[in-house]
Amino acid sequence: MDKDSRRRLNSLTKDNADRVARHLVYAGTMMDENPEIAYVHAQAAYRHAARVDIVREALGLAAYVTGRYGEALRELRTYRRMTDDYTHVAIEADSERGLGRAEKALTFISEIPMKRLNSEAQIELALVTSGARADTGDSEGGLSVIEKIKAENLPEMLQARVELIRADRYAELGREDEADEIRAKWEPIFAQEGEVDVYEDDEDDESVPSEDVAEDVAEAADEKVQPEEDTAVEQNEE
């Protein structure tokens, strides 16, 4: 565990901090290899340190990758409010989609301060916006978001994600030949390494025109609905 993460466990007793740290390390290690095991370890950390921000973050991420979207939304929202860290807002929005609430996803996206996100996180948010638009029956609008992204400037794996979502929008619009052509080119590349971590912090990254993407995402996510209230933070820290 890195020094900053360890520092955030300082409110715990030494024995409890060591125990929570082990669970968090296991959760992070297993997130891709065995998400259910990662979730079990994140839950164990939560039982011992529910008021520690990185514990809420770990549980939220583990819940998301195991399809527990309601829990993921609650935990990542709590983490953001505890830290003012907007790193995982795309996952929050996608969790709304996972719960069948595309309109709420768009409302949430429209309220995000885009300048708080690095360029790749803005791209990820654009991908979620495109999917949410398609979920509401507006595949044309979803495609317009993708077409504003200069995918040729992106790292290969992220470019593959953008192009495959473009293919989904084409297919939804009946442009099957174009969709098939894109998939034939990019699916083998995407399959080589799987998901790319679009949340890696890189303040010097200039590969994506972030202002253009941010403006497009904000324009695309213009639906407004009444947000839900959060449940209170549970207090079960040892």
Per-residue pLDDT band for 238 (boundaries 50, 70, 90) equals very low
Convert 77-107 to b/e letters by CB count within 10 Å (16 or more is b). Answer: bbbbeeeeebbbbbbbbbbbbbeebbbbbbb
Convert 53-67 to b/e letters by CB count within 10 Å (16 or more is b). Answer: bbbbbbbbbbbbbbe
Per-residue pLDDT band for 208 (boundaries 50, 70, 90) equals very low
pLDDT above 50 for 202: no
| pLDDT tens readout for residues 45-99 | 999 999 999 999 999 999 999 999 999 999 999 999 999 999 999 999 999 999 9
* Category of 155 on φ-ψ map: left (φ > 0), alpha (ψ -120 to 50) or beta: beta
Q: Which pTM value belongs to this model?
A: 0.80
- pLDDT for residue 120: 86
Alpha helices in the chain (DSSP H): 3-7, 14-30, 35-48, 53-65, 69-83, 89-98, 102-110, 119-135, 139-147, 156-172, 176-193, 210-220
Query: Please, what sign has the CA dihedral across residues 115, 121, 126, 128?
Result: negative
**Which one is the CATH code of 14-85: 1.20.120, 1.25.40, 2.60.40, 1.10.760?**
1.25.40
How many CB atoms neighbour CB 167 within 10 A?
23
Among 71-85, 137-151, 161-175, 186-200, name the one with the lowest average pLDDT: 186-200
Distance of CA 229 to CAs 5, 74, 103, Å?
Answer: 29, 10, 16
* Category of 196 on φ-ψ map: left (φ > 0), alpha (ψ -120 to 50) or beta: beta
- pLDDT for residue 126: 96
Burial class (CB in 10 A: 0-12, 13-18, 19+), 110: middle
Question: Contact, 37 vs 65, CB < 8 A?
Answer: no
pLDDT above 90 for 223: no
Which letter does DSSP use for residue 112 in this model?
S
List where CATH 1.25.40 sits in the chain: 14-85
